[in-house]
Structure 1
Amino acid sequence: MKTNFFKVKTREQVWGEFQRFSLLDTEEVPLAQGLNRILAEPIVSNEDLPPFIRSTVDGYAVRAQDTFGASESLPSLLEIVGEVGMGEVPALELSNGKAARIPTGGMLPAGADSAVMVEYTEELDQKSVAISRSVAPLENVIRPGDDFRAGQVALQAGRRLRAQEIGLLAGLGQEKITVRRQPKAAIISTGDEIVPVEQDPRPGELRDINSHSLAAMVRECGGVPLLLGLAPDQFSELRTKCQQALDGADICLISGGSSVGSRDLTLDVLTSLNHSEVLVHGVAISPGKPTILVKTGEKGFWGLPGHVASAMVVFQVLVRPFMSYLSGTALSLGEGRPIQARLSRNVASKQGREDFVRVRLRQEDSGLTADPIFGESALISTLVNADGLICIHRHAEGLYAGETVEVIRI
């Protein structure tokens, strides 16, 4: 197996390997449990939304032509013929010179084509109102289908559901939705020097940072973490935990042991599992070069660097997109659009790899500035103090101060 070490692939080539895996199964869940889930099927509106023409203001439903030329000095005088109730189909109809009181959200009566805000009206008595500002046809109203037309695709498959999508689905009467199953990610930290967080480390030992950091990142991108605990640098114990992961998870994240040292056992353990195939061992990124991806059946096993900053950067640029792929969403380096900022100082890089540099953002009069944060990949403080990452392309030798960069939020 040693001859396969560090056949380095680019990030794009690693992403291409994702197609070797099947998407996660689907399940039906109540709408109330849909937040942050991934739609597995497109949602087609079966009705106009809204289904009727309604006022967006408190005031009076009118025929726009009856208000043309109205002003404070010469208002239009209209006869009040009734009032629209909320949740009711108006029984009245407006003809020339008529108006009806209407609340925000009320259905316009037949004959009306607009609404006048109450601020531009004055009731002279119970039967007449003065309009001091003209309105155009369809002003201050929402027409049927202004949000979505019947038969229109409202949401595409692969969409992550935010609060606004949940509201739309409620408006369309979707009590249940079909979504991708949440990926289960088993997490194993390796190393004789790693001890549980509740234990006081002796000299030469460290508390287990990686398991909890990675579990939080799994939750952030909609997965379910399964903490399988610590594995010492012993082949049999690590293999036992990998077998547990194979039985109960879709993904396994193993931190530590992914490099080429005598105590780096991850690759040997993974290749000993039945039906395993090494897809990646070595990625042209920094930090994170000694990353492993092994396909075992339909399960993806990732060997991540043991240094916490490296492991978290690899999760951001490789594992998060892998989980997105399994869920049927588009691949990207982060959630949402990158933020543009101006780089505060020169940053050197080596050609042939992508450098992911941690940065802190600060607001200046001219806009956002990105300050690089330098430090060893074993230091979690470099990520605690960071707002995001910038990527230096593998064909570049660095970036200059003053350049506009795209910041991936973390």
Structure 2
Amino acid sequence: MKFFNVKTVEETFKLIKEYYSPISEWKMVPLEEAVQHILAKDIHAEENVPGFRRSAVDGYAVLAADTFGASENLPAYLNVAGEVKMGEMPLKPLFSGEAFYVPTGGMIPEHSNAVVMIEHCEDLDGLLNLYKHVMPGENVIEADEDLRMGSLLLKKGTLLRAQELGALASQGIAEVPVVRKPIIGYLSTGNEVKALETKELLPGQVRDMNGMTIGAVVKEWGYEFKYGGIVNDDFDDLKRRMQQMLAEADCLFISGGSSVGIMDYSCDVLNSLGKPGVFVHGISIKPGKPTIMASAEGKPVIALPGHPASAMVIFHIFAKKILNQLQGYEGLDSPVTFAKTTRNIPSAAGRTDYVRTRLFQEEEQWLAEPIFGKSGLISTLVNSDGLIEIPARSEGVQKGNLVAIKLFL
């Protein structure tokens, strides 16, 4: 077996969008359960928010014209005509020469068009001294300033975070349509891979670390994980088990059968599962070059490298992109931070490198210490907080350079 037409990382991202289509199924869920789901339909505002004119500060509602020219040396004088309490309407409108005390968020009286902050006022037994003028609209939130009835509130494909749920709650929306989250299936392959419960390993055998690490990442991301166990290097057995998993899952990952070798049948099996079959066999990336991607009748099937560090790096780089595509989400794949490197990081031009790194703080700045090691070393991941991406066009990173780090979150 050999690698045909190895793809760049950018080409692979484009092919993911081309070969994998979003899931069409959606469901209604209670608003309190919708966090981290993807919105299935556009939502329009049904009401104005806040729905009434309110003060943005603690202060006095006034007619702006009554304050013009006011200063520390020459204050303006107004009569305090009342107070507005939170959650209540003003008892009467405001007229020229008057002021109403209004707390932050309180409804301002009719006719008022500005609010003077309380620190610029002095109430002397009902005579208000104003030491600063305000312009019309200053410190006032209009009735439809936040959300306007009929306007697009949230677009289809939006990731529902706390702030989006708050916007929906402002409209009294108790249920929301969301895309069904994909179910992720997983199989480990290889005669040498044994169950983690195995007490004693024979020389050449390893426990199924990938099944544990990939499953844990899937659960951290909030998806359902179906572990299919370990499959020996047998074409018919691997095909049968993959067909079983694809019947239960929306997306299938396997590990251990993507490197060149007599016992590796992954590519052949993937092509036998359905059209169009394999569309990526090898990526210009380190670690993880022997990665295979296929589409089996529309379902993503990805063969990860067998080495634990390579498998997890590839999963972080590409799996989130695939899962986002299945849900119609085009936002960020992973959180990113920035830090300065503590040493030079060499890289070969024409290949994208993802270097494991440890983050630490020194003299009030964040530093990134590269962790070098072979792709089979799980300890390099244990000591890492994220990945530094070195683009294919680059030949490395110099010590002290500011770099972006994709966090393992």
Fold-level similarity (TM above 0.5): yes
Shift of 1:367: 4.1
The DSSP-based 3-state class of the residue aligned with 2:312 is: helix
The DSSP-based 3-state class of the residue aligned with 2:356 is: strand
Q: How does 1:225-304 map onto structure 2 within 5 Å?
A: 225-275=225-275, 277-304=277-304
Go from structure 1 to structure 2 and tell me whether the alpha carbon gap of 1:98 and 1:187 turns closer, same or farther (over 3 Å shift). Answer: same
More moved, 38-47 vs 368-377: 38-47
Per-residue Cα deviation, 1:344-399 (whole angstroms, up to 9, x for no partner): 22222223321111122333458433221101111222122222212222243323
1:390 pairs, out of 376, 388, 408, with 388
Q: Are the aligned partners of 1:186 and 1:228 in contact in 2 as well (CA < 8 Å)?
A: yes
Shift of 1:178: 2.2
2:322 matched residue in structure 1: 322
Q: Tell me how far apart the structure 1 counterparts of residues 256 and 194 of structure 2 sit (CA, whole Å).
A: 14
Q: Are the aligned partners of 1:359 and 1:371 in contact in 2 as well (CA < 8 Å)?
A: yes
Q: How does 1:7-406 map onto structure 2 within 5 Å?
A: 7-18=5-16, 19-25=18-24, 26-70=26-70, 75-125=75-125, 127-204=126-203, 205-275=205-275, 277-330=277-330, 334-336=333-335, 338-365=336-363, 367-406=365-404
Q: Tell me how far apart the structure 2 counterparts of residues 199 and 157 of structure 1 sit (CA, whole Å).
A: 47
Go from structure 1 to structure 2 and tell me whether the alpha carbon gap of 1:87 and 1:214 turns closer, same or farther (over 3 Å shift). Answer: same
Q: Tell me how far apart the structure 1 counterparts of residues 213 and 194 of structure 2 sit (CA, whole Å).
A: 15
In structure 1, give the amino acid aligned to 2:29: V
Q: Are the aligned partners of 2:188 and 2:229 in contact in 1 as well (CA < 8 Å)?
A: yes
Q: Are the aligned partners of 2:21 and 2:325 in contact in 1 as well (CA < 8 Å)?
A: no
| Structure 1 runs of 4+ with >6 Å offset | none
Go from structure 1 to structure 2 and tell me whether the alpha carbon gap of 1:54 and 1:310 turns closer, same or farther (over 3 Å shift). Answer: same
Shift of 1:99: 1.7
The DSSP-based 3-state class of the residue aligned with 2:247 is: helix
Q: Are the aligned partners of 1:270 and 1:276 in contact in 2 as well (CA < 8 Å)?
A: no
Shift of 1:22: 2.0
In structure 2, give the amino acid aligned to 1:267: C
Per-residue Cα deviation, 1:133-161 (whole angstroms, up to 9, x for no partner): 44333333212333233343333322211
Per-residue Cα deviation, 1:268-305 (whole angstroms, up to 9, x for no partner): 33233244611111111111111111211121111001
The DSSP-based 3-state class of the residue aligned with 2:228 is: strand
Q: Are the aligned partners of 2:274 and 2:295 in contact in 1 as well (CA < 8 Å)?
A: no
Q: Tell me how far apart the structure 2 counterparts of residues 145 and 199 of structure 1 sit (CA, whole Å).
A: 64
Gaps of 5+ in 1: none
Q: Are the aligned partners of 1:201 and 1:207 in contact in 2 as well (CA < 8 Å)?
A: no
In structure 2, give the amino acid aligned to 1:344: T
Q: Tell me how far apart the structure 1 counterparts of residues 178 and 154 of structure 2 sit (CA, whole Å).
A: 12
Shift of 1:188: 1.3
Q: Tell me how far apart the structure 1 counterparts of residues 102 and 251 of structure 2 sit (CA, whole Å).
A: 57
More moved, 36-45 vs 278-287: 36-45
Q: Are the aligned partners of 2:293 and 2:300 in contact in 1 as well (CA < 8 Å)?
A: yes
Shift of 1:216: 2.5
Q: Tell me how far apart the structure 2 counterparts of residues 201 and 109 of structure 1 sit (CA, whole Å).
A: 79
Gaps of 5+ in 2: none
Go from structure 1 to structure 2 and tell me whether the alpha carbon gap of 1:184 and 1:70 turns closer, same or farther (over 3 Å shift). Answer: same
Shift of 1:52: 1.8
Q: Tell me how far apart the structure 2 counterparts of residues 212 and 29 of structure 1 sit (CA, whole Å).
A: 30
Q: Tell me how far apart the structure 2 counterparts of residues 275 and 65 of structure 1 sit (CA, whole Å).
A: 73
Q: Are the aligned partners of 1:291 and 1:302 in contact in 2 as well (CA < 8 Å)?
A: yes
Q: Tell me how far apart the structure 2 counterparts of residues 285 and 165 of structure 1 sit (CA, whole Å).
A: 36
Q: Are the aligned partners of 2:340 and 2:402 in contact in 1 as well (CA < 8 Å)?
A: yes
Shift of 1:118: 3.8
Shift of 1:36: 0.8
Shift of 1:320: 1.4
More moved, 244-253 vs 156-165: 156-165
Go from structure 1 to structure 2 and tell me whether the alpha carbon gap of 1:64 and 1:304 turns closer, same or farther (over 3 Å shift). Answer: same
Shift of 1:121: 4.0
% identical equivalent positions: 43
Q: Tell me how far apart the structure 2 counterparts of residues 318 and 229 of structure 1 sit (CA, whole Å).
A: 22
CA RMSD of aligned residues (A): 2.5
In structure 2, give the amino acid aligned to 1:160: L
Q: Tell me how far apart the structure 2 counterparts of residues 124 and 349 of structure 1 sit (CA, whole Å).
A: 73
Q: How many residues align?
A: 405
The DSSP-based 3-state class of the residue aligned with 1:168 is: helix
Shift of 1:236: 3.8
In structure 2, give the amino acid aligned to 1:263: M
In structure 1, give the amino acid aligned to 2:354: F
